[in-house]
Structure 1
Amino acid sequence: MMRGIKLIRMIVILSVSLLFGCSDKSVDQAEFPPEKTAAAEVNGTEYPMEKGNYQWVRKKGLETESVKTDHASPNQMAVQLKPIPVKPDQKVKVKIEDDPVMKVYLWNETGKEKEIKLEDDQITVPADKGTYIYEVLAEWKNGEISYTFVAEVQ
């Protein structure tokens, strides 16, 4: 009788271990970290924004998976980016997939200068001619991505 109980207990433990130990890859085919499209739109033309730092977290069964990157800062990235031509005081619409919470920052050569007001997903570029570096920090429930674009007021 005791041997029978031990055998049943062992079968139960093995069955539970197999259930939790094996993952079904077909259940979670979602890309991780997810790719989100991001663009700055000026006069109906979309200009892709450059992706910088990002971090994502997701639950996988009993485990938590996370990814965090370290990327060049927006002012360093700006050197490689082609500026978007804009007119003084022109509106630029920020379009990012899956409707994240967004904050926009103006950068200069040395770092982050100030937060820029975002209204209806749009910013207004300065009236003064020059080149302006913008970082858009997009936050979703499980992660965030920093995007950069450069506007040249002509």
Structure 2
Amino acid sequence: MKPLYKNLILLLVCLGLAGCSGNLFSILDQAELRPPEAVVLIGEKEIPHKKGSFCWQSNGQGVCADTAGAEALTSDTKPTSVPKDSLIKINYEEEPSGIHVVYLKDGTEYKRFSDKFDFKMPSEPGNYVIEVLARWRDRGDQFIAFKVKVDDCIVSCGTKKTSLLETKETIKFQLLSLEHSSSDKLLENSLCIKQL
């Protein structure tokens, strides 16, 4: 009689594992039900962002996830300093069919526009939360959010950001040594001078 109990226990364990593996595959399928990844750039520098709520469907399956709004979602992140009027670009693994961007400043809507994958930061200095809602026709949508600090005293020269005073002093020194510079360095310096 003991072998019968062993066989029964073995059968129950096998059935339990088979049932669990079905759930495991279902969980793995859901893990692949995610919107395309986004990369937020200013020049070549990546700006960190947070993923917000989304709904996504593929092959007859769908998943939705809710998060806090843009300001609450980014409350624990430090803003990225950007020059005023600088150009922000968003690249997605798969281009959305539509995009909607909202600038929030001090908890209120500052600016809103649609269908632009690159957009200028405001001229007005301050901290902004940027919310981007992307939609993919018949597939789903997702919002991302990030914080920026628009600073009128930052000039972007190459990849280095300096204060206006530091930049003027640097350019004075570089102008004195231009006859020893390469043509690439000369072009970079002239671009910095134009930004001043």
Task: Report the Cα distance in structure 1 between the residues aligned to 2:106 and 2:124, rounded to whole angstroms.
Answer: 17
Give the structure 1 partner of residue 126 of structure 2. Answer: 130
Deviations 1:89-135 (A, max 9, x none): 1111111220012111112444555413554x211111111111111
Report the structure, 1 or 2, having the larger helix content: 2
Q: Which has the larger radius of gyration?
A: 2
- Residues 38 and 48 in structure 1, CA contact (< 8 A), matched pair in contact too: no
- Residues 116 and 123 in structure 1, CA contact (< 8 A), matched pair in contact too: no
After TM superposition, where is structure 1 displaced by more than 6 Å over at least 4 residues in a row?
A: none
Task: Report the Cα distance in structure 2 between the residues aligned to 1:39 and 1:94, rounded to whole angstroms.
Answer: 6
Deviations 1:47-101 (A, max 9, x none): 23210000112343xxxx3212220100111211221211111111111220012
Normalising by structure 1, we get a TM-score of 0.68
Distance 1:149 1:58, change over 3 A: same
Alignment gaps of 5+ in structure 1: 1-24
Q: Report the aligned-residue RMSD.
A: 2.4
Normalising by structure 2, we get a TM-score of 0.55
Alignment gaps of 5+ in structure 2: 1-24, 152-196
What is the identity, as a one-letter code, of the residue corresponding to 1:153?
Answer: V
1:33-52 aligned at under 5 Å gives the runs: 33-52=33-52
Report the structure, 1 or 2, having the larger strand content: 1
1:76 equivalenced with 2:72 (yes/no): yes
Q: Percent identity?
A: 24
1:31-110 aligned at under 5 Å gives the runs: 32-60=32-60, 65-100=61-96, 101-110=98-107
Which of the pair has the greater relative contact order for Cα pairs under 8 Å at 6+ separation?
1
